[in-house]
Structure 1
């Protein structure tokens, strides 16, 4: 039996593969903070960085029996975080392009009746999604998207920090993407 006060990484990996929850906890406690700092440096968002690292550890536990680590545990975890960050950034870019293309479509104002009907349906879906946002988030989002105010102007008008404004807009977009994604796909 391996003493839990000082197991090596290779011992921890073997214990993890044999469903040892204590080994998993040791790995988590040993590497979480540094992986979080690494993710935060790349993403510059605390919640997103935590999500990326938590997803990695959830994946590590779920795949423990089939885990293949050809390098050190440290190198494996850092590479896995890096890959998850790249996937996250790519996913964000795809979502942003989708929302932008949708907004562009709505802004074009096609003259064909069918397009106008669809535009009204999409606008209604988006407006319903916006109206379901928490009040503060809704106010910030509407000032940004409907009145085209900058983060600084919104912060001044609502007596908030620019960072809070940015976070509220990002959170609103996340919520709208989740709520509207399927409905918009079906409507289009």
Structure 2
């Protein structure tokens, strides 16, 4: 069955019913255009690849939850635009945070500004953790905030240890994409 003949509405309906081929067709149809759209604004190949890859990862993970209030293309382009805005805001925060660390290293003084930035970064990280799918977030928080082992989490949630391990690793990958090395400094 050729998915190229399906319109976007049909593809989104198929996507919501877990059709991987519909997802593949959506990816093939839009990934290059979304990359170009992002590149016009960011001028960074790696960041654009990351944004588009993350968008399609979230699209698959949240396929049944997403409410396409506009067209599929409208949803995708708006998502890319929002991810670009998020990235630019985070880059600005990273620069500010880095300057604060540099100032501290040079002067040896802890400033209120530094503490504010630290709180802002923590809030961003908490927000991104809250944006994870519910089950992933639950497992991640048990691991990182309550310091339970994979075995303890598996027992508590009636899951296999491998499921817990892969879920934590996947959550870390998503967060690593968003925050890079700053995530590990704060966690």
Give TM-score, length-normalised by structure 1. 0.58
Alpha-carbon distance in 2 for matches of 1:100, 1:25: 43
Alpha-carbon distance in 1 for matches of 2:180, 2:15: 36
In structure 2, list runs of 5 or more residues that go unmatched.
111-178
Aligned CA RMSD, in angstroms, stands at: 2.0
Alpha-carbon distance in 2 for matches of 1:73, 1:35: 12
2:9 matched to 1:45? no
Give TM-score, length-normalised by structure 2. 0.59
Match of 1:30 in 2: 29
Offset at residue 181 of structure 1 (A): 4.8
Offset at residue 177 of structure 1 (A): 3.9
Point out the structure with max Rg over C-alpha: 1
Offset at residue 5 of structure 1 (A): 3.3
Alpha-carbon distance in 2 for matches of 1:176, 1:11: 40
Please show how residues 29-178 of structure 1 align to structure 2 within 5 Å: 29-109=28-108, 177=182
Alpha-carbon distance in 2 for matches of 1:17, 1:176: 34
Is the 8 Å Cα contact of residues 4 and 25 (structure 2) preserved in structure 1? no
Offset at residue 44 of structure 1 (A): 0.9
Aligned-partner SS, 2:64? helix
Aligned-partner SS, 1:7? coil
Alpha-carbon distance in 1 for matches of 2:180, 2:55: 23
Aligned-partner SS, 1:85? helix
Offset at residue 3 of structure 1 (A): 4.8
Alpha-carbon distance in 2 for matches of 1:66, 1:109: 48
Match of 2:149 in 1: none
Match of 2:15 in 1: 16
> What count of residue pairs does the alignment treat as equivalent?
119
Alpha-carbon distance in 1 for matches of 2:54, 2:39: 14
Alpha-carbon distance in 1 for matches of 2:180, 2:75: 32
Match of 2:168 in 1: none
In structure 1, list runs of 5 or more residues that go unmatched.
116-173, 183-188
Aligned-partner SS, 2:6? coil
- Could you give the per-residue CA deviations for residues 100-124 of structure 1, whole angstroms, max 9, x where no partner exists? 01101111256xxxx8xxxxxxxxx
Offset at residue 39 of structure 1 (A): 0.7
